[in-house]
Structure formats: C-alpha cells, structure tokens
Amino acid sequence: MARTFDEKDFAILRKLAPEYEDILCPESGHEFHSILPPVSNHVAVDEEDFRERVSRLSGEDWEYLADRILSGRENLGCMPEEDIETVVAHIREAVSEEAAGRIGRLYRLIEYGIL
C-alpha cells in the first residue's frame, strides 16, 4: 500500500526529479511507496545520474530519509546495490556512521529475504 506523501516527501522528490510532476510510479502506474526506489529504478538513467540526483539533498533531507528508512516507512529493498552504496555513503556523511551501518545491514537482510 502506498504511503501518503507529506510536503517534506514532495520537496525531496522535487529535488531528485524536478522533471517528474506525478506521484505515480512511471513503470507500474500506482502511487509511490517510497521516494528513493522509483528515482533509482525509473527516473535516473544510470548509476551516475542517480548519484548526481541524490547529491542535491541537504543534510536535513538525509536525516529525514534515514529516519524513514530505519522506521520502515521508506523501503530500499528493490534498489540496486550500487545505488544503496551511494545512499549509505551520503547517510554516513550527513547523519552518522551508526545510521549508515544500520541501513546497510537492513538492506542486506531484505536482499537475502530475512526481512
């Protein structure tokens, strides 16, 4: 089920994909469940484009996203590993080593089907 995006979610999405006006996932036609996976999988044309897009986010944006990821409100499960590494690196720099480590471990647990 798609979560209801608030203004902060929309503001982050606009930074990541200013050319994208809708909250419908381009490939599936349903509302976004999270912010980062659709940008990684459907909006960014490649790994470099994804890196450039997420570099637009502020420390406050990363704190918000890290909180959402760790609380289960932002799911990274369907993202490619290289984009997860980019996300974890930004969280390490903007938030903390601890948050980055927890998010990296969470991704691996999801990837291996443990969660």
pLDDT digits (tens, 9 = 90+) for 3-32: 678 889 989 999 999 987 665 555 544 466
42 touches 34 (CB < 8 A): no
At residue 50, does pLDDT exceed 70? yes
At residue 2, does pLDDT exceed 50? yes
The pLDDT, as a whole number, for residue 20 is 75
Q: Where are the domains of the chain?
A: 7-111
Mean pLDDT of the chain: 88
The pLDDT, as a whole number, for residue 111 is 77
SS3 category, 109:
helix
